Amino acid sequence: MVKEAEVVMKYISTRGRSPALNFEQVLLTGLAPDGGLYVPEVLPQFNQQEIADWAGLSYPELAFKIISPFINGEIADADLRHLIEKSYSGFSHKAIAPLRMLANNEWVLELYCGPTLAFKDFALQLLGNLLDHVLTRNNQKVVILGATSGDTGSAALEGCRHSSHVDIFILHPYQRVSEVQRRQMTTVPGENVYNLAVKGNFDDCQRMVKTAFSDQSFLPAGRQLVAVNSINWARIMAQIVYYFYASLNLGGPSRQVSFSVPTGNFGDIYAGYLARKMGLPIKQLIVATNRNDILHRLISTNEYSLGELTPTLSPSMDIMVSSNFERYLFDLFERDGKAVANFIAGLDAAPQQLSTSQMKKLQQEFSSYSVDDSRTCEVIKQIFNETEFLIDPHTAVGIEAARVCNVDHTVPMITLATAHPVKFTEAVEKAGLQSPELPMHMSDLFEREERCSILENDISAVTSFIRKHL
């Protein structure tokens, strides 16, 4: 293969007013200074023959093929291979991302075999290893700061805690995460690990994180904040891999496949969109949402408007404004950063609309559906009755959306199973089924010692806590 050495991978902001960065810089930051998100200036492209030649590769081998063009030699190939290998070595299934058949041409991709039982491990295990590698090389220490409504926190702590070059602070809304989710965070050992329960909701936590990133003067000299939320480009990059992997295991690329993706912040499905743009033949990409359906309303009726955030049985998708949707809008607005910024800023004042041609493109690229809690429980029960396979509520939303939106039953339809049902027992019980047991490596979760600090809903409480503990 000819190495396209002349192409230097650069990352640019979706708002168009920040300098371009290289991979290492983009890894070690959060939002761009202009408030945008970083995206690659040019996407790597793979032709059908190249993709076909990857059939039979193991997950880490395939991950190397897909990820290395994004890193563009900033990490030596041998080191990168090792970091990828290490990131997926702790998964409990040899396939890393096993496919399970539900019915004829109906599949789920089980993305919850990592240490914290949700798909976020795919990105955060790798992010932790990439950070440690780069920081060790630079002899640099950073502060990781993130907000979580549940799954990101534990995955980030598991992924990053082994690095002596990071201190990690994770904010979660006090008493608003499930007990399993809380214990998965608060029982993580390590002198560099801090859980902060904020007396507010998830939006309060996320806002404080953003404020802290925009003014980092509270940090000691030489320290900087690094994001572990999906605003960090490296998380998106890692997630592109399993779209290729699933396709290759079902006859791709000579055969198309479709994906239904339970969607919150739009990170996961955006990775699928990129996989398609990089050359993977994908028929449908389905945005599956719960009652918090701003994206479904936009895709189906061209209305982009804020609503009341409703708590649901699939809480990891209880998000009003999906941050990564901005990365897609950047393409939809033909990379006009100013137009993206205006569209997003306008949302606070009034509902926004896309032009006719933009709507046409959006609907060509995505289908969408919104599933309420009672239907979610029915689907959990139905799948269990049909196959004896217990799914979590996020996956149930995905499966229902897949069934409703499917336009071609000759194409394999793959729903991404984003979490293990043990994390969301309320939905399982409401479906009239018995909660599953904790997997072996977590069986003593309820006996482990918890460590957590409860803080007022106040940014200065958070920044002074961080400063005191560095």
Ligand X SMILES: *Cc1c(COP(=O)(O)O)cnc(C)c1O
Query: Which residue type occupies 94?
Result: K
Angle between helix 325-332 and 356-365 (nearest 10): 130
Residues 111-130 that bind ligand X (CB under 6 A): 118, 120
Q: How far is the CB of 393 from ligand X (least distance, A)?
A: 9
Cβ proximity to ligand X: between 29 and 316 the closer is 316
* Contact between 394 and ligand X per CB under 6 A: yes
Query: Which residue type occupies 181?
Result: Q
Q: How many whole angstroms separate alpha carbon 291 and alpha carbon 304?
A: 15
- 430: burial class by Cβ within 10 Å (0-12, 13-18, 19+)? middle
* Contact between 172 and ligand X per CB under 6 A: no
Interacting residue with ligand X among 87, 230, 376, 463 (CB under 6 A): 230
Q: How far is the CB of 105 from ligand X (least distance, A)?
A: 23
Cβ proximity to ligand X: between 154 and 463 the closer is 154
Give residue 61's region: left, alpha or beta (phi > 0; psi -120 to 50). alpha
* Contact between 253 and ligand X per CB under 6 A: no
* Contact between 296 and ligand X per CB under 6 A: no
361 assigned to active site: no
Strand order in the sheet with 453-455: 225-227, 142-147, 166-173, 193-198, 453-455
* Contact between 264 and ligand X per CB under 6 A: yes
| C-alpha distance across the termini of the chain, in Å | 47
Interacting residue with ligand X among 316, 367, 376, 463 (CB under 6 A): 316
* Contact between 266 and ligand X per CB under 6 A: yes
Cβ proximity to ligand X: between 12 and 319 the closer is 319
Q: How far is the CB of 155 from ligand X (least distance, A)?
A: 8
* Contact between 274 and ligand X per CB under 6 A: no
The residues, ordered by sequence, that sit 6+ positions from 285 with a Cβ below 8 Å of its Cβ are: 258, 259, 261, 269, 272, 273, 276, 365, 366, 367
Region near ligand X per CB under 6 A, out of 55-63, 78-86, 158-166, 263-271: 263-271
- The contact mask relative to ligand X for 132-151 (x = CB under 6 A, - = no) is -------------------x
Number of Cβ within a 10 Å radius of residue 436: 14
**Beta carbons of 191 and 164 less than 8 angstroms apart:** no
Phi and psi, residue 13, nearest 5°: -85, 145
Q: How far is the CB of 469 from ligand X (least distance, A)?
A: 27
* Contact between 227 and ligand X per CB under 6 A: no
**Beta carbons of 406 and 283 less than 8 angstroms apart:** no
Region near ligand X per CB under 6 A, out of 7-15, 58-66, 192-200, 258-266: 258-266
Cβ proximity to ligand X: between 66 and 317 the closer is 317
Residues 398-427 that bind ligand X (CB under 6 A): 418-419
Q: How far is the CB of 318 from ligand X (least distance, A)?
A: 10
Region near ligand X per CB under 6 A, out of 23-31, 259-267, 297-305, 371-379: 259-267
Instruction: For 119-130, give one letter per residue: b (16+ CB within 10 A) or e.
Output: bbbbbbbbbbbb
Q: Which residue is listed with tokens 């640019």?
A: 12
- The contact mask relative to ligand X for 322-351 (x = CB under 6 A, - = no) is ------------------------------
Cβ proximity to ligand X: between 118 and 208 the closer is 118
Interacting residue with ligand X among 87, 195, 206, 265 (CB under 6 A): 265
Number of Cβ within a 10 Å radius of residue 434: 11
* Contact between 289 and ligand X per CB under 6 A: no
Q: How far is the CB of 218 from ligand X (least distance, A)?
A: 28
Instruction: For 229-241, give one letter per residue: b (16+ CB within 10 A) or e.
Output: bbbbbbbbbbbbb
Cβ proximity to ligand X: between 133 and 172 the closer is 172
Q: How far is the CB of 93 from ligand X (least distance, A)?
A: 17
Of 344, 343, 345, 287, residue with least CA distance to 317? 287
* Contact between 268 and ligand X per CB under 6 A: yes
Q: How many whole angstroms separate alpha carbon 368 and alpha carbon 406?
A: 10
* Contact between 267 and ligand X per CB under 6 A: yes
Q: How far is the CB of 268 from ligand X (least distance, A)?
A: 4
Q: How many whole angstroms separate alpha carbon 342 and alpha carbon 111?
A: 36
Catalytic residue among 65, 120, 210, 423: 120
Peptide bond into 253 cis (omega under 30): yes
Task: Kindly list the catalytic residues.
Answer: 120
Binding residues for ligand X, per CB under 6 A? Answer: 118, 120, 151, 230, 262-268, 316-317, 394, 418-419
